């Protein structure tokens, strides 16, 4: 039993009257023997290994050893009790279906969109690519325990459009409703990125960030192959932060980096809008996940006013003002963001979705009902129902 387990007392309300909740950003970590169980047989012996030492647990992989990091699994702890490093036994077993569904029941969550996939941060191309498929196979097996409640996100490499399209088609056949892309395309060598973060494997950082300064950009016409496949299969594309990565574990920078990691997600949105991706694919849906939403209405107005003045010398051929595409094609999620809720009727602020960020350190678990009631005070019930459930279903194309 995790040391966090006895501390969990939820605030789920017996008189809850706002209908179902779709947690649009919940995280899932696999058990540490998952890689050995799901990688191809000839790669199993190269899977990461969990090592128990007197001073804590360690992960050994490709000749490197790093401490077992706990910051992404703080469910059941108060802020004063957060730990950065520790043991596997110190965290909740969120990879166990009974534990996971039990926590959702405790917190009053009806559905969850689950993030947290591969790849392994390997420098070996075969193992790197195999880990994407291993992850998707495991997480879909996990979701099969409650397919009406658990909706996994598929992960794909983004270093070559034909390779990406192949992965998306595989995920579509498996039943994924959303795929996660890095904020920018990756380099040809996916583990090479200008967004390196100390203490994190470059291949894993690249899976979320890509390379902002890389040769490939989503504005390149060749990526139209991907947007077409997503539209044809009615699959949404998510970007789970990544335009800027906080320096996790560094006390000097972490707090200041956190808000910048949210606001930096304006750049990928602008790239899609100003490069006519939505003009070419009006049914494409993208979601900026965990970015917060209080800045979305501001962004829409800023993009409009900038475009109005600069459109001529930049020779912009946009068919509509930028705010139009934000209302038609762009979604975003938040955890605690009353400013965004209050701006829900402004251009750019309409497609917002609530999330718990379970079990990360920002999570509202196990007090989500209480926090929703606080942050939505005075908001019409129909608007609240849209933000905590209906908008997510629209984004994912499910009834």
Give residue 2's pLDDT.
53
Yes or no: say if 100 and 383 are a contact pair by the CB < 8 Å rule. no
pLDDT tens figures, 10-55: 678 788 999 999 999 999 999 989 999 999 999 999 999 999 999 9
Q: Which own/partner pairs from 77-86 qualify as long-range (CB within 8 Å, at least 24 positions apart)?
A: 77/4, 77/7, 78/7, 79/361, 82/361, 84/249, 85/56, 86/56, 86/57
Yes or no: say if 340 and 292 are a contact pair by the CB < 8 Å rule. yes
The structure's pTM equals 0.93
Per-residue pLDDT of the chain (399 residues; tens, 9 = 90+): 454 454 566 678 788 999 999 999 999 999 989 999 999 999 999 999 999 999 999 999 999 898 887 777 777 777 777 777 888 888 888 999 999 999 999 999 999 999 987 789 888 999 999 999 999 999 999 999 999 999 999 999 999 999 999 999 999 999 999 999 999 999 888 777 777 666 666 767 778 889 888 999 999 999 999 999 999 999 999 999 888 887 777 889 888 988 899 999 999 999 999 999 999 999 999 999 999 999 999 999 999 999 999 999 999 999 999 999 999 999 999 999 999 999 999 999 999 999 999 998 889 999 999 999 999 999 999 999 999 999 999 999 998
Give residue 162's pLDDT.
98
Give residue 276's pLDDT.
98
Q: What is the C-alpha separation between 393 and 134, in angstroms, rounded?
A: 27
Domain spans of the chain? 24-32+93-396
Q: What is the C-alpha separation between 21 and 24, in angstroms, rounded?
A: 9
Give residue 201's pLDDT.
66
CATH of the structural domain 24-32+93-396, one choice from 1.10.150.20, 3.30.390.50, 3.20.20.140, 3.60.9.10: 3.20.20.140
DSSP string, 240-283: ES-SS---TT-TTTHHHHHHHHHHTTHHHHHHHHHTTHHHH-TT
Give residue 304's pLDDT.
98
Helices 296-310 and 266-274, interaxial angle, to 10°?
40
Yes or no: say if 16 and 372 are a contact pair by the CB < 8 Å rule. no
Q: What is the C-alpha separation between 330 and 321, in angstroms, rounded?
A: 14
CA 135 to chain centre: 15
Buried b (16+ CB within 10 A) or exposed e, 313-351: eeeeebeebbbbbbeebbbbbbbbbebbbbbbebbbbbb
Yes or no: say if 155 and 238 are a contact pair by the CB < 8 Å rule. no
- Three-state SS string over 203-248 comes to HHHHHHHCCCCCCCCCCCHHHHHHHHHHHHCCCEEEEECCCCCCCC
């Amino acid at each position: 039993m995790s040391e966090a387990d006895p501390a969990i007392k939820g605030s789920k309300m017996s008189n809850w009257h706002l209908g179902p909740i779709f947690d649009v950003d919940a995280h899932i970590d696999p058990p540490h023997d998952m890689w050995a169980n799901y990688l191809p047989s000839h790669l199993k012996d190269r899977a990461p290994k969990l090592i128990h030492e007197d001073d804590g647990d360690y992960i050994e992989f490709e000749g490197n050893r790093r401490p077992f990091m706990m910051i992404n699994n703080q469910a059941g702890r108060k802020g004063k009790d957060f730990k950065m490093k520790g043991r596997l036994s110190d965290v909740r077993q969120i990879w166990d279906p009974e534990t996971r569904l039990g926590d959702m029941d405790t917190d009053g969550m009806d559905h969850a969109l689950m993030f947290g996939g591969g790849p392994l941060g390997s420098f070996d191309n075969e193992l790197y690519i195999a880990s994407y498929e291993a992850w998707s196979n495991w997480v879909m097996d996990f979701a099969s325990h409650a397919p009406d409640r658990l909706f996994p996100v598929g992960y794909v490499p983004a270093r070559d459009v034909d390779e990406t399209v192949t992965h998306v088609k595989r995920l579509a056949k498996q039943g994924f409703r959303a795929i996660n892309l890095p904020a920018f395309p990756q380099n040809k060598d996916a583990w090479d990125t200008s967004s390196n973060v100390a203490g994190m494997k470059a291949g894993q950082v690249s899976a979320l960030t890509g390379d902002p300064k890389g040769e490939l950009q989503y504005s390149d016409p060749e990526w139209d192959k991907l947007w077409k496949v997503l539209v044809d299969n009615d699959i949404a594309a998510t970007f789970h932060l990544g335009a800027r990565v906080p320096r996790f574990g560094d006390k000097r920078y972490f707090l200041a980096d956190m808000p910048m990691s949210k606001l930096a997600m304006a750049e990928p949105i602008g790239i899609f809008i100003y490069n006519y991706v939505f003009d070419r694919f009006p049914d494409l849906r993208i979601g900026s996940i965990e970015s917060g939403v209080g800045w979305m209405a501001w962004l829409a107005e800023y993009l409009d006013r900038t475009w109005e003045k600069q459109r001529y010398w930049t020779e912009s051929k946009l068919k509509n003002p930028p705010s139009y595409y934000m209302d038609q094609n762009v979604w975003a999620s938040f955890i605690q963001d009353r400013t965004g809720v209050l701006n829900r009727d402004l251009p750019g602020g309409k497609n917002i979705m609530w999330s718990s960020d379970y079990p990360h350190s920002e999570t509202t678990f196990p007090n989500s009902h209480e926090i929703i009631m606080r942050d939505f005070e005075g908001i019409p019930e129909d608007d609240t129902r849209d933000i905590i459930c209906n908008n997510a279903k629209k984004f994912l194309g499910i009834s």
